[in-house]
Amino acid sequence: MRYVYNQTVKGASHADAGKECQDASLSWTDDDLAIIVVSDGHSGEKHSNSATGAALASQITQNHLREFCNDVDAKWLSHQSDDNIKRLCTSILAEWTREIDELEEGADIVSYGCTLIAFAQTKHFWFALQIGDGRCVMQNKAGEWIQPIPWDDRCILNMTTSLCDENAANEFRFAYGDVESIPKAVFLCSDGIDGTFGSGELLYGFYGNIIKSINDDGIENVVSQLPEVLSHYSRTVSKDDMSIAFVLNDT
């Protein structure tokens, strides 16, 4: 059984200020494909349209990942793999920019700024891409927790790379693998979650508890409780919007 799910909740600071949630997340699956996406709008005066930017980034990315996975087979892994994913990232960025221009002629692209993390899995391969902060965490077949996408040292404290950067096309990072390395579990999160649990053992423990709860109590019970759980941690720790998306294989 494979579970694919996403959840976004408004952070305590935005709720208290009467502001909209700046995060967005999506998930999609069929028998052959699973996709999860998380985007985090930067918020603040400089990024006044970032909630729209994050929503657009999530939907555009999901569409491009579906198209990419339907158009290629496993052979792409051995033939210019990096170039193929770089072209995919450039296509996502180009459509995001174009959609914003159509929404608002002469738009200040910076006002729509957001981060992006996405993962796609077929029967033959997987890949993940990212620009900005947040985390992509996997549990491999040996049960080890890993973070396959290289970290960007420019993402520190309140600073992050972004889709709105002038050099955004060159700021994407990514990872990929063949059928033998398809993970047991994949979790994406916005920085509200790694701001709560950190980037190591506490974060892995949180994800491990989600997997255990699903195995013990069923997916329906867990996903019904997850919004309250995320809101609790936002209220008591990070104050930030919280987004999570996951793919669990063979649970």
Tokens of 237: 């720790």
Confidence label for 142 from pLDDT (cuts 50, 70 and 90): very high
Confidence label for 251 from pLDDT (cuts 50, 70 and 90): low
Res. 166: pLDDT tops 80? yes
CA 150 → CA 1, 93, 131, 187, distances in Å? 30, 20, 11, 15
188: which strand partners? 136, 245
Summarised one tens digit per residue, pLDDT across range 42-74 is 998 899 999 999 999 999 999 999 999 998 877
Res. 79: pLDDT tops 80? no
β-pair type (23-29, 34-40): antiparallel
Total count of domains within the chain: 1
CA 189 → CA 56, 81, 158, 216, distances in Å? 17, 25, 16, 23
Tokens of 86: 């770089």
What CATH number did the domain enclosing 160 receive? Answer: 3.60.40.10
Mean of the pLDDT values across residues 78-102? 93
Task: For residue 201, give every residue at least 6 positions away whose Cβ sits within 8 Å of its Cβ, in sequence order, or none.
Answer: none
Instruction: Residue 115: give the domain boundaries.
Output: 3-248
pLDDT at 44: 87
How far apart are alpha carbons 238 and 10 in whole angstroms? 12
- What are the backbone dihedrals phi and psi of residue 209, each rounded to the nearest 5 degrees, phi first? -65, -35
pLDDT at 214: 96
24: which strand partners? 39
Q: Which of 127, 148, 129, 152 is nearest to 137 (CA)?
A: 148
